[in-house]
Amino acid sequence: MVHQCSFPRDIRAQRRFITAAAAAACAVLGAFAASPAASALTLSTMFSNHMVLQQNMRDPVWGRAKPGARITVRFAGQKATATTRADGWWRTALAPLKADATSQTMTVSDAHHHIIIHDILIGEVWLCSGQSNMQYPMTGWFGRKNLAMALAHAAKPAIRLYFVPMLQTNFAGHPRHSAPAKWRLCTPQTAAGFSAVGYLFGRDLQKQLHVPIGLIDSDWGGTNIEAWTPAAALLAQPRLTKDRGRLRGA
């Protein structure tokens, strides 16, 4: 049975984890691994219409463009710039922002391209990750009536959902640069396949904090921790001789 999440009396005590979760979510889809240089301006797939930016921290914005291209990001009265590196990646950051449920627009441009992202909110961004307990969807695997009732009331525009699809990569730990995913408004339809634990947690968190909530669902039932660990970290541990051998042979 899936239970609703419980919280400490002072939810602000968990802010350090929120920041770490936002950074980990960035690593899921946007690690700066070596790759051929890009030409057209693009953004990480973590950036799309209906997204939520983390409040009270420097929010990174990154993507790809022609090496040497000057990138300008404008959002909420701010202007941030970056110069694209030789490998085609660029990265900049916005100054900390206060929570805001007002829909806002971000523009990203270089000398020849212009990207507009609509309906951005500012609030709390949480990474929902793990094995099958986190993967269990709101539609349920065993017809849970309590989940069906919660799903029927899941039209919550202040909550935004991002589902990371299950895509395989090799054991050498090279992360994907993008995935076929985007932020979606929380509705009974979009929440149906989302993590039940993640959604119920986000729903109750939004009730307590009264700020927009962004939930990133990245889970895979039955996976070992090694599959979520960078290859360099595994190779640095002499005791993990078995995994070290598999990595070197990948």
Per-residue DSSP letters for 119-149? Answer: EEEEEEEEEEEESHHHH-BTT-SS--HHHHH
Which tokens go with 15? Answer: 């802010």
Domains by residue range for the chain, with CATH: 11-219 (2.60.40.10)
Question: What is the strand order of the sheet 89-94 is part of?
Answer: 42-43, 59-64, 89-94
- The pTM for the full model equals 0.80
pLDDT at site 38: 61
Q: Is the Cβ–Cβ distance between 221 and 131 less than 8 Å?
A: yes
3-state secondary structure of 190: helix
Q: Which helix (H) or strand (E) holds 61?
A: strand 59-64
pLDDT at site 19: 37
Q: Beta-carbon neighbour count of residue 1 at 10 Å? A: 6
CA distances 42 to 89, 116, 137, Å, are 10, 11, 31
pLDDT at site 249: 56
Which residues, 6+ apart, have CB-to-CB distance to 223 below 8 Å? 131
pLDDT at site 184: 98
Residues in a beta bridge with 117: 106
Q: Beta-carbon neighbour count of residue 58 at 10 Å? A: 13
Q: Beta-carbon neighbour count of residue 90 at 10 Å? A: 28
pLDDT at site 121: 98
pLDDT at site 30: 43
- How far apart CA 213 and CA 157 sit, in angstroms, is 9
Strands 156-163 and 89-94: unpaired
Tens-of-pLDDT digits for all 250 residues of the chain?
222 333 333 333 343 333 334 444 444 444 333 444 567 999 999 999 999 999 999 999 999 999 999 999 999 999 999 999 999 999 999 999 999 999 999 999 999 999 999 999 999 999 999 999 999 999 886 666 778 889 999 999 999 999 998 877 655 456 677 788 999 999 999 999 999 999 999 999 999 999 999 999 999 999 888 778 777 787 788 777 666 666 655 5
